[in-house]
Amino acid sequence: MTSADNLVLRVAGRPVGRYVTRPELPARLAPRPYLHPVTTLAGTAVTEVGPADHAHHLGVGVAVPD
């Protein structure tokens, strides 16, 4: 664990993801909890936050419509 707003996920003691519970993002990006970076055990990142064509995509997350 790193802080109240960020949790580190570990496998066999190695960090493989960070859970961001309170992202500081503009409202237009619908801030919500997400996992990023998610990495392989070798350290290769497999997620992105805000790619150019989908700025609202935040790593691994779940969005529930109203």
Please give the pLDDT value at position 1.
44
Task: Please answer whether residues 29 and 40 qualify as being in contact, where contact means their C-beta atoms are separated by less than 8 angstroms.
Answer: no
Q: Is the pLDDT of residue 9 over 70?
A: yes
Give tens-digit pLDDT for 12-63: 999 999 999 988 889 988 888 999 999 999 999 999 998 999 988 999 988 7
Give the residue with greater pLDDT, 6 vs 34.
Answer: 34
CB atoms within 10 A of CB 58: 23
Please give the pLDDT value at position 13.
93
Domain ranges of the chain: 1-66
* E-state strands within 2-64: 6-11, 14-20, 34-38
